[in-house]
Amino acid sequence: MADVALGKKFLGQPVERVEDEILLMGKAQYSDHLPTRAGTQHAAILRSPHAHAKIISIDTTRAENIPGVTAVMTGDDVKEMSEAFLIVLRQPINQWALAVEKVRYVGEPVAIVVARNRYIAEDALAEIDVTYEAMKPAVDQEEAILDDAPIVHEAVGSNVVSTRDFTYGDPDDAFAAADKVVKMKIRYPRNSQTPLEGFVVTADYHQGENLYDVASNYQGPFTSHPVMSMALRVKNSQLRMRTPQWSGGGFGIKVQIFPYVVLICLASKKVGKPVKWVEDKLEHLSAAAAAPNRLIKMEAAVKNDGTVTGFRFDQQDDYGAFLRAPMPGPLYRMHGILTGAYDIKNLSVTNRVVMTNKCPSAMVRGFGGPQMYYGIERIMHKVATELGMDPLDVIRKNLVPAGVFPYRAAAGALIDSGDYPGAVERAVKEGALEDLKKRRDEMRAAGKKYGIGYAAIVEPAQSNMGYLSNILPRDERQRNPKGGAVANATVNVDPLGTVSVTADSIPQGQGHMTILSQIVADVLGLTPDQIKVNLDFDTAKDAWSIATGNYSSRFSSATTVACLKAAEKVKAKLARIASQTLNVPADQLEFVDGKIRDPSNPENGINFYRAAGSAHWTPGNLPDEMEPCVRETGSWSPPELESPNEKDQINTSLTYGFVFDFCGIEVDEDTGEVKIDKYVTMHDSGTLLNPLLADGQVHGAFAWAIGCALYEEFVYGDDGSFLTGTFADYLVPTAWEVPEPQIVHMESPSMLTPLGAKGIAEGNCMSTPVCLANAVADALDVEDITLPMTPTRISAMIHGEEKPPNNDKPAVTIPVKGEGNVLRGTGETFVPAEPLEVWNTLLDPKALAAVIPGCHALDLIGDNSYEADVSLGVGPVRGRFKANVGLTEMVEPKKATLSGGLIGPLGASQGSGHVFLEAADDGTKVSYDYAIELTGTVASVGGRLLEGAAKALVKQFFQRLGAQVGGRPVSGGEPWWRNLLRSLGLLK
């Protein structure tokens, strides 16, 4: 495509953002600030404490009776009112907006309360009684594929719901002819960039038109719009989606709002009023989205000179409990570029989609790239190690050479432009790699563990809407071929000549308004501050298509082009109008400084606003057949984004940038901390539209990548309990942990987009985690590196696994079902009463009720079995639980076994313990041990405090027992949390 004669007065310049003023003043209206009409109700969602359980019954009566509660809905209501969400795979994996019949992950929505305000709605959650029958969960992705694994979706019959094999070139031949086959097994963890602003949905059902009017910080892609409208049983036009101008970060994650859009729509229909829901952070961390964890078994066919002639990938992605559209995208979005930055012709790939009892996976910045490049760049590092070569020489040896673009990669990517070897050498020089190598030598000579890592990656942008078609068999996808990627933008000039722009990019902080104003200003000879860009979006009014939205770096090569086209149409129209007055052919006029004029006689011109105004004020004077007004929409879809071909090749994205990173790190041998000493990142992202904003995207991706490499992971217990439900558990890097990388730019314009721009926002998510891992591998001379590289993991590599402290070992081993989040403890106390007295107290419901901390009621429900209503809390959460406790193996008055469980809105637990009574001086020595498994909110947010809290609670129980038996007032014991604070030194 020909380059466009742009003035480029503003484009390409580090123009400050037009967005910033309102944001800095705190005047921007995010979703939670949008006006709602009077009577709007507020929703709260009850979520599953179990990873896998049958829902036996749900009793909502008490919740419905709370004043202020408008309605409570369960999966039965939702199933009656809506369809299961459409998914990409032809498999019976049915998901509704609330769990139906069983729950499949901790955090899965089970019921929704609609009430006058959020506080009342949350109160009511505690009054919903759900009876679950816990099932064994499939948690680990490698165990989930075994024959005897619990099945997440019984109707599918297996947790492996899709397997596809692909072959390109002749990998068997390449491996047979190889001097060496290098093998590696890598795992990439679950994580997410967790935008600070959570999901917000306000839905207003209009009964007269059977229309759902929704405002939400949803980010597209609008491929999920039909998924929502079909679930709601309406036409697309009856689901009006509006997204606000301002959104508090997205990073792909806000795609996953769509099931909640449907849920809140149904709630609005049910109560006949608008309903608003704002997600909180625990909901977000446990149930919003996670990039899929991936297991890759990789093989490289290698020649002794370092040439890699073939790759074999066996990729297995863990998508959690459901496949929400556009899953399994991360496994297929990178497909065309599976050979990365390398000229490798022979490739075989097996893609497996695995279901487990974890939060459903989703789009997250990088979208399959971090996982894939972790495999490729780790194995390239290993190839170097095994051949005794410098890793950079192996990279150099295999890079796609200069001068071959456009280059068709083995799996189908059409790489548009670049000079990979040139970029590497430029980074090496400008980043002073030789000095870094010297520094490594010096540090090592001083006894430090210092390493250098490298990573070379290709960064795709603007996804082919047909990329997921490869998951279908060839004949099936040929019946319904998909491809392309449509972008839309509209430029409007009003009667007074002021210019406004709307577009389909749904930004979340990237600065799209600024860039569009730069483009339009350049085309129309104006200044960016004369262009008003409005990027709030409304499917009822704006031009949109399935590709609409903010994901996969589509803005800089898609929406910008649509906007350019719209601006050029406006320019052409105004030039024709001006041509009449100026007596100069339209195509010879120039647009400069607010004027349309003859370049050979600048005096012969008219003001821009006057030419535009005449299309409004005097339409009768317009040139023949010209329509009045000035409002032009540009739509664009690049022809290079074709459907997959007969050989399963697919050009998965339109543009391909290049990123090359190297870094120096020091591992602190004492603490296991990885310290980043130097980081250089080289980007060739085609033409930079705004270098200031481009660097901002690099910095942001880099910071999250530091998190992925060193801190961030969604952790699950073996029982499927979710253990990272706060920002104190899911650690996010702060200003202290993120150094400033040295950025080196090179600009090889894309020949496939008129502006030459490529994506830049995802590259470091793909390159940086593996670059740091390679540096640690170099520093420690180890092969198997698991992300995130926490001090615990690094220390274990240096010093061996840390043994748990001895004092936590129970005297008696108590078997528990899983080995998830298990608390174990032992202790002993002295009670100034005879053993028989103590024994009788334990068996007396009234006395026991007085002894159990937080007990409201205790009833005997069978032989030595009790049901209790207790209030318990730990960390930031406190709630009411129903407890069932039974006494068995009783030897009066010597010992007994206690077992039972707790269930409440904050979670569930199962546990058991032993009590031993032994006569001692004037009393009884009571010794005990216990093991408790926890799941649900308590486990998610209280993990750090549970150990101490449980100890304090049990200790308090026996203190109160002593007080009760000894005839002293029970209130003598202090609350357990005071004990805890004291033991932590926070209370004197």
Partner 1 sequence: MSKLNKDARYPVTMTLNGEEVTGHAEPRMLLSDFLTHEIGITSCHVGCEHGVCGACTVIVDGTVMRGCLTLAVQADGTTVETAESLASKDGKLSELQLAFKKHHGLQCGYCTTGILMSLTAYLEENPKPTEEELRDMLSGHLCRCTGYVGIVKAVLDYCENSTE
Q: Which two tokens stand for residue 765?
A: 């998510």
Smaller CB separation from partner 1, 2 or 735: 735
Smaller CB separation from partner 1, 28 or 715: 28
Q: Please report how close the Cβ of residue 744 comes to partner 1 at its closest, in angstroms.
A: 15
Residue 515 vs residues 518, 572, 613, 692: alpha-carbon distances, Å: 5, 21, 26, 11
Q: Are 508 and 199 in contact (CB under 8 A)?
A: no
Q: Please report how close the Cβ of residue 149 comes to partner 1 at its closest, in angstroms.
A: 35
Q: Please report how close the Cβ of residue 26 comes to partner 1 at its closest, in angstroms.
A: 3
Q: What's the CA gap between 727 and 706, in Å, rounded?
A: 16
The one-letter code for the residue type at 170 is D
By the criterion CB under 8 A, which residues form the site for partner 1? 16-17, 19-21, 23-30, 32-33, 119, 193-197, 246-251, 278, 280-281, 508-511, 692-693, 695-696, 698-704, 726-728, 732, 734-738, 740, 876, 941
Q: Are 32 and 278 in contact (CB under 8 A)?
A: yes
Q: Please report how close the Cβ of residue 693 comes to partner 1 at its closest, in angstroms.
A: 7
The closest of 342, 353, 346, 382 to 184, measured between CA atoms, is 382
Smaller CB separation from partner 1, 70 or 764: 764
* DSSP at 191: B
Residue 71 vs residues 62, 576, 611, 750, 928: alpha-carbon distances, Å: 12, 60, 57, 55, 46
Smaller CB separation from partner 1, 287 or 941: 941
Is the Cα dihedral 362, 364, 704, 535 positive or negative?
negative
Residue at token pair 């209370």: 987
Q: Are 129 and 294 in contact (CB under 8 A)?
A: no
CA 113 from centre of chain: 26
Stated as kind and residue range, the H or E segment containing 488 is strand 487-493
Q: Please report how close the Cβ of residue 146 comes to partner 1 at its closest, in angstroms.
A: 37
Q: Are 231 and 84 in contact (CB under 8 A)?
A: yes
Smaller CB separation from partner 1, 505 or 643: 505
Q: What's the CA gap between 168 and 177, in Å, rounded?
A: 16
250's CB contacts (< 8 A; 6+ apart) are: 195, 217, 219, 508, 509, 550
| Helices and strands per DSSP (H, E), number in the chain | 25, 36
Query: What phi and psi values does residue 897 have, to the nearest 5 degrees?
Result: -110, 130
Smaller CB separation from partner 1, 475 or 740: 740
Smaller CB separation from partner 1, 248 or 495: 248
Q: Is 368 left (phi over 0), alpha (psi -120 to 50) or beta?
A: left
Q: Please report how close the Cβ of residue 736 comes to partner 1 at its closest, in angstroms.
A: 4
Q: Please report how close the Cβ of residue 699 comes to partner 1 at its closest, in angstroms.
A: 3
Q: Please report how close the Cβ of residue 876 comes to partner 1 at its closest, in angstroms.
A: 6
The one-letter code for the residue type at 70 is T
Smaller CB separation from partner 1, 674 or 858: 674
Query: What phi and psi values does residue 598 have, to the nearest 5 degrees?
Result: -85, 115
Smaller CB separation from partner 1, 632 or 712: 712
Smaller CB separation from partner 1, 293 or 726: 726
Q: Please report how close the Cβ of residue 399 comes to partner 1 at its closest, in angstroms.
A: 27
Q: Please report how close the Cβ of residue 795 comes to partner 1 at its closest, in angstroms.
A: 23
Q: Please report how close the Cβ of residue 218 comes to partner 1 at its closest, in angstroms.
A: 15
Strand partners for 200: 278
Q: Please report how close the Cβ of residue 801 comes to partner 1 at its closest, in angstroms.
A: 29
Q: Please report how close the Cβ of residue 537 comes to partner 1 at its closest, in angstroms.
A: 16
Q: Please work out, in degrees rounded to the nearest 5, the angle formed at the alpha carbon of residue 934 by the alpha carbons of 930 and 938.
A: 125
Q: Please report how close the Cβ of residue 825 comes to partner 1 at its closest, in angstroms.
A: 26
Q: Are 135 and 53 in contact (CB under 8 A)?
A: yes
Smaller CB separation from partner 1, 99 or 291: 291
The closest of 229, 212, 219 to 264, measured between CA atoms, is 212
Q: Please report how close the Cβ of residue 835 comes to partner 1 at its closest, in angstroms.
A: 44
Residue 818: how many CB atoms within 10 A of its CB?
19
Q: Please report how close the Cβ of residue 793 comes to partner 1 at its closest, in angstroms.
A: 23
Q: Please report how close the Cβ of residue 556 comes to partner 1 at its closest, in angstroms.
A: 15
Instruction: Write out the DSSP string of 305-322.
Output: TS-EEEEEEEEEEE-TT-
Smaller CB separation from partner 1, 178 or 705: 705
Q: Please report how close the Cβ of residue 779 comes to partner 1 at its closest, in angstroms.
A: 24
3-state secondary structure 386-414: HHCCCHHHHHHHHECCCCCCCEECCCCCE
Residue 299 vs residues 175, 183, 185, 381, 850: alpha-carbon distances, Å: 9, 4, 9, 13, 65
Query: What phi and psi values does residue 493 have, to the nearest 5 degrees?
Result: -120, 125
398's CB contacts (< 8 A; 6+ apart) are: 306, 307, 308, 342, 343, 344, 380
Q: Which two tokens stand for residue 903?
A: 């269930």
Q: Is 756 left (phi over 0), alpha (psi -120 to 50) or beta?
A: left
Residue 370: how many CB atoms within 10 A of its CB?
31
Strand partners for 299: 183, 312
Q: Which two tokens stand for residue 447?
A: 């006894």
Residue 442: how many CB atoms within 10 A of its CB?
11
Smaller CB separation from partner 1, 3 or 21: 21
Smaller CB separation from partner 1, 42 or 225: 42
Q: Is the N-terminal amide bond of 893 cis, ω within 30° of 0? A: yes
Smaller CB separation from partner 1, 196 or 404: 196
Smaller CB separation from partner 1, 334 or 359: 359
Smaller CB separation from partner 1, 238 or 534: 534
Smaller CB separation from partner 1, 585 or 876: 876
